[in-house]
Amino acid sequence: MGHTQDLERLFGLKDVSYKANLSKDQLFDEAIANDRGRIKQGGPDTDQKAYPTKLGKQGPLVFYTDPTCTGRPVKDTFGVAWPELEDKVWWKNDFQKFDPDKFQVLLKRVGEHLNERKASLYVQDVYAGTDPEYAVPFRFTGEYATHATFVHNMFPKGIEGVADEDAKRWTLLNVPSFHADPEIDGTLSKRAVILDMKNQIVLVVGRADYCGVNKKSMFTIMNYLLPNQQHMSMHCSANVGQGGDGAILFGLSGTGKTTLSADPDRKLIGDDETAWTESGISNLEDGCYAKLIDLDKQAEPVIAAALSMAGTVIENVPAPAGKKMEEMDPQDLDLTDSSITENTRFSYPLDCNPNVSEGAKGPHPETIVLLTADAFGVLPPVSILDAKEVMYHFVMGFTSKLAGTEVGITEPQAAFSACFGAPFMSHKASVYAEGLAKKMEQHGGRCILLNTGWGGGPYGVGSRISIKDTRALLNAGLAGDLHKEGAEYDVHPVFNLKMPKSCPGVDATILNPRNTWEDKDAYDKAADKLRDMFRSTFEGKGFASLGIEPIM
């Protein structure tokens, strides 16, 4: 079925026109000419939202979101609570239930709104997933050409061999010009991101124009679909070594997932969203969506180079005072400028990376890496995990966030996000934990917990574990050195973690974190405090009832 008939069937769209599957060059012109909306607090809804740099079409498109939506609107993200799905979905604060009857009325109202406006909509037909075994046809339909460009960057095109495409297709309708009425529509505000798992629809309305909404909505859907097919859907990066050894790296923002997976000696499979099937690992995407704030161009040369490439999208980076974006070389943009948001972003195709695995696929991973950045300074730099410990640390999904930039506030904050991506996990956490344990048992994967945080004291006292040491620890883990027969370990008395006594290229004194603190009593107190946070979170989330064993 063509998109015109299909979109009329789904949304009642009769008086609209479509610009379908335009090239990125065409979308570039369309975005600058037509993408209009609010870009400043209190500003009009008629401002230009997309701009060229001095490179024109040979460079990036620069896009500004609504000032209230510089990240995912998690409190306005819902799933339609159809009776047959209610017990299957993991409902939580950032994925709440939406009334099915209200949703049907809202869909009709959005369709009428677009018909009345005689809207011109952009359509991009892509896929979620690089492997035809599970790939899902995905049709983006929306008011902004920038969003269509983003989808073109981020999702695979032309996947051959996907059976029954019309039946599998998901459709996302993105309508920033429609402002919901909470009293009529059952929303919490004038915006909403609503996933209908039964009818394969995503509806985005109101001031929710952050580009990442179009990506993470589909990731949430794939996290629902793939476990039902006995596949693993994972918030992780992946790469493959020269000897054909695959690896996956789980981690929350700031733990090094993207940086550590970009390794000149290993081919990149993907940096964020990965599937693990009977045939191996593969990327769910065809692009990267990198944070730009404070980017070190020497440490991240791929992202730095891609900033000047055609067809990419820079999000919420301002032009310097007194300059027009049209006059700027992308390399001269101030990437430390957080005046719009700390969450400045950049979307670019995967092939901007010079070292990508063919087809963004690889073999079953030999090494699973759980990344954490412990700003309390008490976890070992590397630990060896057995199957039970993997499930525990996987569902806990611990890292820490720095308390912010206020003077005198240096106390870190613990962050726990189940499966290293709780907001996007549509099933309960145990589904993914059991899936990971099963895959590891089937394919003999080994696992390390790699801490990229602090040593010698907490943030503000100690120092960040050097990237050189982290790389050496990771390389030893990938080579199997930390698991080989005869390797010696200490067991941490508080966290029950196996800590290797030695590692090639690393000073052995840092491997037991207590050794690096001058004040041993302070270390013991800090370790006990973090252990208690783990315990209370484990109890509060009810993980024991899901069959996860507490290990500390």
Catalytic residues: 72, 216, 235, 253, 257-258, 272, 345
Quote the CA–CA distance of 479 and 446 in Å, as a whole number. 11
Q: Which of 407, 348, 350, 317 is nearest to 65 (CA)?
A: 317
Work out the angle at residue 393's Cα, subtended by the Cα atoms of residues 388 and 397, and round it to the nearest 5 degrees: 155
The residues facing 48 across adjacent strands are 36
**Who contacts 138 (Cβ-Cβ below 8 Å, separation ≥6)?**
125, 126, 127, 128, 151, 155, 169, 170, 171, 172, 218
3-state secondary structure of 366: strand
Element (H, E) at 173: strand 170-175
**DSSP labels for 113-168?**
HHHHHT-EEEEEEEEE-SSTTT-EEEEEEES-HHHHHHHHHHS----TT-SSHHHH
Do the beta carbons of residue 350 and residue 157 sit within 8 Å?
Answer: no
Q: In degrees to the nearest 10, what's the CA dihedral of 127, 315, 291, 354?
A: 60
Q: How many CB atoms lie within 10 A of CB 426?
A: 25
| Upper half-sphere CA count for residue 434 (Cβ side, 13 Å) | 12
Burial of 109 per CB tally in 10 Å (0-12, 13-18, 19+): middle
E strands present in 426-546: 446-451, 454-455, 463-464, 489-491, 498-500
Residue linked to tokens 């620890």: 473
**Who contacts 53 (Cβ-Cβ below 8 Å, separation ≥6)?**
59, 60, 62, 325, 326, 328, 329, 330
Quote the CA–CA distance of 147 and 21 in Å, as a whole number. 12
Return the structure tokens found at 10. Answer: 């789904």
Quote the CA–CA distance of 124 and 488 in Å, as a whole number. 54
Residue linked to tokens 């609503």: 194
**Who contacts 421 (Cβ-Cβ below 8 Å, separation ≥6)?**
235, 252, 397
Work out the angle at residue 383's Cα, subtended by the Cα atoms of residues 378 and 384, and round it to the nearest 5 degrees: 160
Summary count for the chain: helices (H), strands (E): 13, 30
| Upper half-sphere CA count for residue 457 (Cβ side, 13 Å) | 9
